[in-house]
Amino acid sequence: MRARAIPSLSLLAALAGCGAPAFDPPNLVESVRVLAIRADKPYAAPGAMVSMEMLAFDGRPKPVTGAPMRLFWVPVVCPDPAGDAYFACYPFFGAALRPGVDVSAELTEGTRFSFEMPADLITSHAPPKSGAPYGVVVIFAMACAGHVQFVERGGGTLPPRPPLGCFDPKGVELGPDDSVFAYAQVFSFQGRTNTNPVLDHLTFAGAPVDPAEGITLDHCGQGRCDGAALDTVVPGESQEPDPADRDATGKALKEEVWVAYYVTAGSVSGGTALLYDAHLGKMPSTSIKLQPPATAGEETLWAVVHDNRGGVSWTQVPMHVK
């Protein structure tokens, strides 16, 4: 089996309760959210410096009564965890952090974080059953509207609960509306590289979108709105060859590339669209419907482009709802 960074970002949050409540669409940002994490080198050579960047947003209703959102990185990366499982890294939290106290000052705060890939990352990884040798580093991050504490969780769940929690000044652990624990992976293959896809521009109702001007649309009011077509333009050069994926003749295929949309109001039908397929290339239809919200206001839309080898790019545009 080949090693692939799909997805390049995972979010870990506990949802309380049972049954089947009617959740809001996942592309609707109404809480503290980490929307994406990207590396400047999605495939990085051993010994290379890698710069990470986090896209996050505080979508809680304004005015917010709690603390402002803060962004953190765990400053120690986890190389080659057992089975490439992110939760196999959790024991190192206990070795580096004290439980039950505010450890925010021991973390790296902000949207960016840099680290050096271990020089022996590939050679220290267990040999794969098939495919080229590789190594992987796991990086952990957190968005928290409070302070961060290391928590010694009890066992019994798989995957286990994250070992970092977000707490208010009274020591009460906050829920998923106020915090997100996330991880990302950066892979290393000898002689292989990958670049982040290029997000050229968005189109709305068939017209290019100026990122500074954004999108202007009417609110739904009392009636039913059909929405208008939203699309993301990514040049064909961004679909790079993937040496690990080959067809029946042995020919190397290309990456899959897709886009995920997020909004602070309204909705995007489906939330994601496949832009390039490994076998078919550019998809003939990639637009989806942007449904306006029921009320006027100033909102935000994000488009996050991914490839299946950990590449990520994004754009953020204002959404003026009349």
The tens digit of pLDDT for each residue in 16-41 reads 333 333 345 689 999 999 999 999 99
Count of domains forming the chain = 2
Query: Both 79 and 181 in a single domain?
Result: yes
Length of the chain, please? 322
Query: Both 252 and 275 in a single domain?
Result: yes
For residue 196, what is the DSSP state? P
Query: Both 169 and 223 in a single domain?
Result: no
Which domain covers residue 184, as residue numbers? 9-189
The pLDDT of residue 252: 86
The pLDDT of residue 255: 96
Query: Both 154 and 294 in a single domain?
Result: no
Query: Both 212 and 185 in a single domain?
Result: no
Higher pLDDT, 178 or 1: 178
pTM: predicted TM-score of the whole model, two decimal places: 0.90
In a domain, 26, yes or no: yes
Last residue of a domain, one of 163, 189, 215: 189
* Residue 10 binned pLDDT confidence (cut-offs 50, 70, 90): low
Task: Look at residues 56, 72, 128 and name the one whose alpha carbon lies nearest to residue 105.
Answer: 72
In a domain, 309, yes or no: yes
Order of all β-strands in the sheet with 32-39: 32-39, 49-58, 112-116
* Residue 15 binned pLDDT confidence (cut-offs 50, 70, 90): very low
Higher pLDDT, 10 or 102: 102
pLDDT in tens, 115-146: 999 999 999 999 998 889 999 999 999 999 99
CA distances from 297 to 27, 196, 311 (A): 18, 33, 33
Q: What is the mean pLDDT of residues 164-171?
A: 95
Query: Both 100 and 75 in a single domain?
Result: yes
The pLDDT of residue 223: 65
Categorise residue 208: left if φ over 0, alpha if ψ from -120 to 50, beta otherwise: beta
Last residue of a domain, one of 123, 158, 189: 189
Query: Both 184 and 266 in a single domain?
Result: no
Q: What is the mean pLDDT of residues 55-70?
A: 90
The pLDDT of residue 22: 39
Share of the chain above pLDDT 70, in %: 90
Give the CATH number of the domain where residue 209 resides: 2.60.40.10
Q: What is the mean pLDDT of the chain?
A: 90
- Strand bridging mode 215-217 / 312-321: parallel
Instruction: Identify each DSSP E strand in 94-237 by its residue range.
Output: 108-109, 112-116, 134-144, 147-150, 164-167, 179-189, 201-204, 207-208, 215-217, 228-233
The pLDDT of residue 16: 31
Please say if the pLDDT value at position 8 is more than 90: no
The pLDDT of residue 20: 34
pLDDT in tens, 208-243: 999 999 999 999 876 668 789 999 999 999 999 999
Please say if the pLDDT value at position 159 is more than 90: no
Query: Both 122 and 244 in a single domain?
Result: no
Query: Both 68 and 143 in a single domain?
Result: yes
